[in-house]
Amino acid sequence: MKCYSCGNPAVIYRKYEGRAWCKKHFSRQLESKIKATIKKDKLVEKGDKICVALSGGKDSCLTLYLMDKFFGKRPDINVFALSIDEGIKGYRDESIKKARKLCKKLNIPFHLYSFKEEFGKTMDEILKNKEARACTYCGVFRRYILNKKSRELGATRLATGHNLDDEIQSIFINNLKGDTNRLMRLGAKPVAVKKDFVNRIKPLRYIPEKETTLYAMLNGIEFHDSRCPNAEDSVRFDVRKFLNDMEEKYPGTKHIIICHFDTILPALRKYFADKGSVGVCPKCGEPTSRALCKVCELLENL
Ligand code: SF4
Ligand SMILES: [Zn+2]
Ligand SMILES: [Zn+2]
């Protein structure tokens, strides 16, 4: 197959577009799309300090690489990385090696925090309690540290590697669970900044997972590629399969879902805007919309 633009050998054929592209044109387009997302949603502004949540996986490595490529030379913008060691032996220790290596290569400050330091236990220790569901603890604890530490490090933006597939899976899951609060927090730049919450940005939000992987491989970005041993078959797993089947059968489905969601999101946010308030957890002092924050509640259960 030949590149639609230059006739050189193609590296990808996009079914949803009906065109094939070579490495140069595919990479250029992907970067342009991400730049357009950043511009349209004002994800990054003058004076920002961008903290990239870096797990060492492909999407977070790509986010860091591109934030550096786009903003690394700007004197008014600062980019740094934050990794979290949940304490999953044989998995996270390996991905952190990749994260550290990439930061060294790009000459980007790297900050590492761990569940052990923050909560006194690693994930492996938490899971000795057979009742504990791995991803519930891991996800809640990780989001807590990401927000707290990025804020303490002075970040004005917390960039995550969510791609198109992640985002539309979340749209479906929140619909299936009837979780309006979470649903309206989705978006390239989720809801207005609330005190003590660092504004999250998702520059890869319109890029399909297959393309983030291809870009990383074609552009020599080393990443950690293995499945967490604690990953369970979850609703996300089924939704992912369903959406991939739909995309295969009806190319363009994934883009239609996100475009439609973006159309109704402002109305959704407006309607539900004042229905939830953010206060402070009486135990740890972090922001929460609950009487006791989820982290403190989970820690009490341990
Ligand atoms: S799969 Fe679950 S336990 Fe593993 S890193 Fe992800 S959230 Fe944590
Ligand atoms: Zn080309
Ligand atoms: Zn708390």
Q: Read off the amino acid at residue 126.
A: I
Q: How far apart (Å, rounded) are the C-alpha atoms in residues 4 and 158? A: 36
Q: Does the pLDDT value for residue 192 go beyond 90?
A: no
Write the pLDDT tens digit of every residue in 243-293: 999 999 999 999 999 999 999 999 988 888 755 567 889 999 988 888 899
Domain assignment present for residue 8? The answer is no
Q: Could you tell me if the CB of 159 is within 6 A of ligand 1? A: no
CATH number at residue 270: 3.40.50.620
Domain assignment present for residue 281? The answer is no
Q: Which residues share a beta bridge with 80?
A: 51
Domain assignment present for residue 279? The answer is no
Cβ-in-10-Å burial (0-12, 13-18, 19+) of 92 comes to: buried
Residue 147 alpha carbon to ligand 2 centre in Å: 41
For residues 61-88, give the mean pLDDT: 97
- Write 286-292 long-range contacts (CB < 8 A, 24+): 286/144, 286/147, 286/148, 286/196, 287/147, 287/194, 287/195, 287/196, 287/197, 289/181
Total count of domains within the chain: 1
Which residue's alpha carbon is at the smallest distance from atom 2 of ligand 1? Answer: 135
Check residue 275 and give its pLDDT: 58
Residues 64, 81 contacting (CB under 8 angstroms):
yes
Q: Does the pLDDT value for residue 72 go beyond 90?
A: yes
**pTM of the complete model:** 0.94
Residue with tokens 């490090």: 153
Whole domain around residue 163: which residue ranges?
Answer: 43-274
Write the pLDDT tens digit of every residue in 100-124: 999 999 999 999 999 999 999 999 9
Domain assignment present for residue 78? The answer is yes
Check residue 239 and give its pLDDT: 96
pLDDT higher at 131 or 247? 247
Residue 294 alpha carbon to ligand 3 centre in Å: 7
**What average pLDDT does the structure give for the chain?**
93
Nearest ligand to the CA of 144 is 3
Write the pLDDT tens digit of every residue in 30-53: 999 999 999 999 999 999 999 999
Residue 19 alpha carbon to ligand 2 centre in Å: 11
Write the pLDDT tens digit of every residue in 194-205: 678 899 999 999
Domain assignment present for residue 32? The answer is no
Domain assignment present for residue 61? The answer is yes
Write the pLDDT tens digit of every residue in 137-168: 999 999 999 999 999 999 999 999 999 999 99
Q: Could you tell me if the CB of 135 is within 6 A of ligand 1? A: yes
Domain assignment present for residue 79? The answer is yes
Domain assignment present for residue 289? The answer is no
